[in-house]
Amino acid sequence: MTNFYKDKVVIVTGASSGIGLASVRNFASLGAKVVLAARSIEKLEKIAEELNNRFAAHNSQLIAHCIKTDVTKEEDCKNLIEKTIETFGKIDILVNNAGISMRAVFKDMDLSVMRSLMDTNFWGTVYCTKYALPYLLETNGTLVGVISTAGYVGLPARTAYSASKFAVRGFLETLRIEHLYDGLHVMVFAPGFTTSNIRNVALTADGTPQGETPRKEEKMMSAERVARILARGIARRRTQMVLTPLGKATLFASRNMPRVTDKVEYRMMSNEPNSPLKKIK
């Protein structure tokens, strides 16, 4: 894939941790120039310095550039795209990865939680895509939305999360059809449960972070492996990728045995520690 990624300009939102961080490191290792976007500029600067020292030393070219971005703000997203063009002159790939999660049943959840999830997961994708799209069309580039199995199947106690990921999928699938003959590649990427801090900072019913993950992180797919699969999917111009056997099985079952799938999902999520769902024995 080195030939494919050499000198490609890749923007990754949510680049300070998890899949985003693993992805910028992987893209840089493949010869791409990466733009790191997130709210924590201190973290981004350290990562960019690491990547430039590692991959740019032999030719003195800038490999990694970081731009402080809050994707819930349209102006920040516009600035991200404009600064990328000023720095590298083009955009080949936009990976909309920034996202937050939550855990609460809807009847107990403050509506501010729903707004927060939609602002980050959905509107963040819309804003960045809107301003990057003209440049992606110039390069026959790639537009990626990182969603989840929860963007295909409703996940109990993740109401706002599922709603936002369904919205991202619908948005991207429509764009793919609108630009079917324009050379734009659109990929919906659903990695499933991945080792990251997203569950530690997931919002509870009142909007406060839950503070710790309810799942066994060590048994999940690593962010580094997800990043490698993402890069292969982009190079092969895949339109949809659902990772993990559990994710694929859930989609298959939901189409063929929807009532059984509902019960299995409920039981699985209710068995999480401190689940807001009533446990079924």
Give me the helix-helix angle, 258-270 and 245-256, nearest 10°. Answer: 140
Averaged pLDDT score across all residues of the chain: 91
User: Which one is catalytic: 5, 131, 161, 181?
Assistant: 161
- pLDDT tens, residue by residue, 141-180: 999 999 999 999 999 999 999 999 999 999 999 999 999 9
pTM metric for this prediction: 0.91
Q: Which domains does the chain have, with CATH numbers?
A: 2-244 (3.40.50.720)
In 3D space, the residue among 21, 50, 26 whose CA is nearest the CA of residue 36 turns out to be: 21
- pLDDT tens, residue by residue, 182-234: 999 999 999 977 776 565 688 999 889 876 665 555 667 899 999 999 999 99
161 is catalytic: yes
Determine the average pLDDT of the residues in 228-250: 93
Specify the pairing of strand 185-190 against strand 240-242: parallel
Note the Cα 82 to chain centre separation in Å: 21
**CA-CA-CA-CA torsion sign (115, 116, 122, 128):** positive
